Structure 1
């Protein structure tokens, strides 16, 4: 049975309007209640099917995905969002490192995937480091606003820097250090390689630890091996370090011992303040042989033009891509990416359909953007931000959908990066109408606000919301289901076991999508644009 929803946050103009052409609360409820679990499941089954092969960029799976999105949005009456096209071309280059490599340090060979994963972002057939001195640079952070520089007084040209993952705030839990337990962008692997490159290092190695990384070593194995996508640049990325990669914490401890250092002691010192130390006579040698392929992938963009101010857009985003197929893997070779992110892509279709149930179009345009190459470092959204189809000063807000709730209804809703913008208040008001509360960031230490496609919009100055799920089960039956399903899904992030399951309870995903629809509608009708909070690092440019 469809449950109809009492909608209270309708704009003053709508509440006061008596004309039959106005959007009524009943109209909004039709869209709200059109979002259904069986429809979400239908889309996920297709997108995460073996036929789509894991939806890797520039693959047959991409073509199938884009064809599916085009068919669905055309049927809904949406218009191409990029002129007369649904697509935005994203030039990419893929680099696949030959797995037949070893990392030699201190006379010992460390094995690919088992001990380390190395690669190069340079668009070059072969890169490497030879007898490159190792320097431990703590967290590898240069952050003037936090009065922190692990590279201060250090010349790393020709050397290989070794770094901890995350940032000092996570290690100390001190709320006055960086942002305490909540990871900043300085804790992300992308930043660490970028800063090492700026410092002129030859190589950059991150020490993997599960808790501060927020994922196990198996994710490093699968995500940083195989094809790695990047942008085509005139300089062929020669400004990047020659070699970048990861080692396990066990390898790191062994190396520190060889260098006459204690890993735990050095780690503790690194959390106290800017820190670096030479690693004795240890030097690294590794050769990376790349197979290079240049290709074009696509962002998908569709628009439902607004009735009053069509040049102002609320943008919903989700990434359509996943890790593709690994033909060198034994057993199941397809990374179907059902949860991550066929669910978000399916949810985007459902929210889009809800807006077509209103009878009249919202005042502002509703635009849906499915981006490519998120799994490769948010490349599709980064490219969009650098080449926006809709200018930032015409983009009112962004609502991002990545990995929807599979664990049933909840009494709360989690907000990643809570406290950054007025989007939280709009969400809280809509959630209250569902009898739910906003519970905040479920895992601030993972730096989730810097790890999905809304981050590109935030960098553009556009208030961006990334929310979903929660921790407080709706009832005892749901609580028991959540325990059982959590065990089933454990360890499936970026693994072949991330596939569609009939036993999923998508009622929680329906709850969240209804909120995203409601928040977007409210923004579309209000005269004021959402703003960033004063304490946010993001502001309108």
Structure 2
């Protein structure tokens, strides 16, 4: 009898706990006022390294202290410093030449024949007589039965690759069709070449030397670049036009028809025998220190296992150079109310609601990432130096630009088909009569463009919800038109300012689903997984033992 009584009490406690966990009360008005505050002119566009950063981080810390949350950064601090190295080419310092099998040296004109950047490690490149290898698209994708590399040895050599990924109709089914995969990105090609021992990567542009686009890109090649934390430590990267590439191929007796095979799936990397490349380049380096802010709710029984909610706090500052004086004659402050004061406020509101629920078994971290607008750099900084081991990070749930509409039947996500988090979300959405869709904009390449992606690259399952356009009132026709108009009018423009007219009902709908998903993960023992054809599954597999 006593055993049955205690069993019933335990069951009742579990029911009550679940009830408390789901008794959230997301406030559209509170979210709106938080957005209004941190996107005001006073914050001057929240650019990293400015007074706007200091004010934003101070405001965030005050919110979490008021909730009673613990600092989640390194060494029990609120902030995680992220050191960003910025590289600027030294004028006239780039010298490049190639040597053919007959020993003749051919000078390459920077900006005309070749473009070179030494924006890695110490900002200096000094490569003499390096061999050349043409590696097609530079893709090694066993899960897609694709391998451009074969068994060639590229240690100490310079690898030449095509941009993008295969587009021939016969093979696009191996990739994601209209949605580009990670293999299309330059960072992937550099990482793969570096992993194999290459000292440099050159992208072959399939245009002649006098192509206007090629010449225009040369004008921008000397702009300052910020190195992505954790990026491949190559000596240099660069690009060549078709004319330079064909001259190298001819010298090495490589048939130009080889280019027609790169989309077949049968191509294997080819050495340009007898042709070598020499490059010298130098760049000055300065350092910008910015900060991620992290707050944490420690788990009760498995605190070493972590769910992360993330959003970037930064925007693009004031004026074209981000740090201009505020104009007295025109609006030159990029307030970033939608992008991403809205996501920042959404994470703070998420923390308020989860802090009011019973503490979960696993830990939950609320991460406000820096320098997203500079290339996801705060998130990459975290991924390169994680405060909590990535092997036991259950998932990242990222919010960037809350939807501004009435309720929708759909909940869009980036990277549909990648991992099982979308399946978990689909079950929760179905309970409310909603469905999961892709982002409907494959041309944007959204999956690689927000702070979930550095986690993805390290193998951590991640989810980012986007804007539903199938409105309960008006359907897709009305919803898509409204989205297109809003994005076209305000994205990355000074007009992205808070408005009392914003409809945040869809935002509250999405936040509520993400709240349920996060607590389901935090109170369970499941580990989301990558789907069989995902390019990120193999990375996660290497740390399987940590999750046993």
User: Does TM-score exceed 0.5, indicating one fold?
Assistant: yes
Match of 1:44 in 2: 35
1:187 paired with 2:147, answer no
1:18 paired with 2:15, answer no
**Paired residues for 1:40-119 under 5 Å:** 40-82=31-73, 83-97=75-89, 119=117
Match of 1:212 in 2: none
1:423 paired with 2:421, answer yes
Q: Distance in 2 between matches of 1:117 and 1:504?
A: 46
**Paired residues for 1:116-195 under 5 Å:** 119-124=117-122, 137-143=135-141, 146-149=145-148, 161=160, 163-165=162-164, 167-168=165-166, 170-172=167-169, 174=171, 176-195=173-192
Q: Distance in 2 between matches of 1:220 and 1:432?
A: 51
Query: Contact 2:137–2:148 at 8 Å: present in 1 too?
Result: no
Task: Answer with 98-107 or 115-124: which moved more.
Answer: 98-107
Alpha-carbon distance change, 290 to 84 in structure 1, aligned in 2, over 3 angstroms: same
Shift in Å, 1:365: 3.2
Query: Contact 2:343–2:400 at 8 Å: present in 1 too?
Result: yes
Query: Contact 1:401–1:466 at 8 Å: present in 2 too?
Result: yes
Match of 1:524 in 2: 522
Shift in Å, 1:461: 5.1
Q: Distance in 1 between matches of 2:222 and 2:362?
A: 40
Q: Distance in 1 between matches of 2:236 and 2:295?
A: 39
Shift in Å, 1:185: 2.4
| Structure with larger Rg | 2
Shift in Å, 1:193: 2.9
Match of 1:352 in 2: 351
Q: Distance in 2 between matches of 1:103 and 1:346?
A: 49
For 2:76, what is the secondary structure of its paired residue? coil
**Paired residues for 1:211-230 under 5 Å:** 225-230=223-228
Q: Structure 2: where are the runs of 5+ without partners?
A: 1-6, 98-106, 208-215, 251-255, 325-329
Shift in Å, 1:517: 0.8
RMSD: 4.9
Match of 1:293 in 2: 286
Q: Distance in 2 between matches of 1:450 and 1:492?
A: 21
Q: Distance in 2 between matches of 1:155 and 1:232?
A: 21
Q: Distance in 1 between matches of 2:56 and 2:485?
A: 30
Alpha-carbon distance change, 123 to 175 in structure 1, aligned in 2, over 3 angstroms: closer
Q: Distance in 1 between matches of 2:155 and 2:333?
A: 41
For 1:500, what is the secondary structure of its paired residue? coil
Deviations 1:456-475 (CA, angstroms, capped at 9, x unpaired): 44455543322232342222
For 1:23, what is the secondary structure of its paired residue? helix
For 1:34, what is the secondary structure of its paired residue? coil
Query: Contact 2:135–2:148 at 8 Å: present in 1 too?
Result: no
Shift in Å, 1:71: 1.3
Alpha-carbon distance change, 89 to 16 in structure 1, aligned in 2, over 3 angstroms: same
Q: Distance in 1 between matches of 2:402 and 2:199?
A: 39
Match of 1:213 in 2: none
Alpha-carbon distance change, 162 to 278 in structure 1, aligned in 2, over 3 angstroms: same
The TM-score with structure 2 as length reference comes to 0.72
Alpha-carbon distance change, 441 to 18 in structure 1, aligned in 2, over 3 angstroms: same
1:508 paired with 2:503, answer no
| Aligned pair partner of 2:474 in 470, 473, 476 | 476
Alpha-carbon distance change, 364 to 259 in structure 1, aligned in 2, over 3 angstroms: closer
Q: Distance in 1 between matches of 2:474 and 2:91?
A: 48
Shift in Å, 1:515: 0.9
Shift in Å, 1:84: 3.0
Shift in Å, 1:370: 1.6
Q: Distance in 2 between matches of 1:501 and 1:35?
A: 16
The TM-score with structure 1 as length reference comes to 0.73
Q: Structure 1: where are the runs of 5+ without partners?
A: 1-12, 210-217
**Paired residues for 1:158-307 under 5 Å:** 161=160, 163-165=162-164, 167-168=165-166, 170-172=167-169, 174=171, 176-197=173-194, 198=196, 200=198, 202=200, 204-205=202-203, 207=205, 225-231=223-229, 239-244=233-238, 269-273=261-265, 274=267, 290-307=283-300
Query: Contact 1:322–1:375 at 8 Å: present in 2 too?
Result: yes
For 1:172, what is the secondary structure of its paired residue? coil
Alpha-carbon distance change, 206 to 258 in structure 1, aligned in 2, over 3 angstroms: closer
Query: Contact 2:35–2:498 at 8 Å: present in 1 too?
Result: no
Shift in Å, 1:432: 1.8
Q: Distance in 2 between matches of 1:221 and 1:417?
A: 34
